[in-house]
A and B are shown apart, each in its own frame.
Chain A
């Protein structure tokens, strides 16, 4: 099946630093999603990308849909302690017989720790 590779696996940064993480796929994706999971909680959608080359921001977060459609990047600027958590990329697992594309494949996540 499709696999998503996230890097780095973990990051330890100082408050105020910028963060970059990425996600690559062995196959082409037509949608990229970035989720954040706070400790002890379920994942929450941060950003959705639907077109190759698309660059989308959500506050201090910026994500890009790679031109090759096989990768995506997430940047966090001026990190703060509440940015701590696991960041997952996700993409559609494949088409169902009705033509919709609702199942997701998740990467293994990037664990972010922010030292105040």
Chain B
């Protein structure tokens, strides 16, 4: 199993541009999550999904959108990039029926200039 994969690994955007961060897992997990990590601030939950077709907001959803058309994929969309969205983004997945191990991808480092 590849686990959780994320693309791209790095990206630089100009203010106002849009992009999609891709996340795929091959563990047949129902639950998937998007976090952002800012230096010294830990991980903040942006959006999560409990299954295909179901998504919900986390702690810091503003400026982002998600979709979950399949069990495997959970893309994160930035429509109008802002400097405040410069961060490292992590996708994670879990079985989800209990507080359980969340498996993290390697991250996408995004810079908005």
Contact assessment for B107 and A102 in the assembled complex, using a CB-CB cutoff below 8 Å? no
- The number of residues on chain B lying at the interface, defined by a beta carbon within 8 Å of a beta carbon of chain A, is 27
Contact assessment for B94 and A102 in the assembled complex, using a CB-CB cutoff below 8 Å? yes
Residues in A with CB closer than 8 Å to B105 are: 42
Contact assessment for B99 and A108 in the assembled complex, using a CB-CB cutoff below 8 Å? no
Interface residues of A in 12-50 (CB under 8 A from B): 30-31, 33, 40-45, 48
Which chain B residue has the least Cβ–Cβ distance from A41? B106
Give chain A's interface residues, CB within 8 Å of chain B: 1, 4, 9, 30-31, 33, 40-45, 48, 88, 92-93, 96, 100-104, 106-109
Listed A/B pairs (13) with beta-carbon separation below 8 Å: A30-B99, A33-B99, A40-B107, A42-B104, A43-B104, A44-B104, A92-B99, A93-B45, A101-B99, A102-B99, A104-B45, A106-B42, A108-B40
Give chain B's interface residues, CB within 8 Å of chain A: 4, 31, 33, 40-45, 48, 50, 58-59, 90, 92, 94, 96-102, 104-107
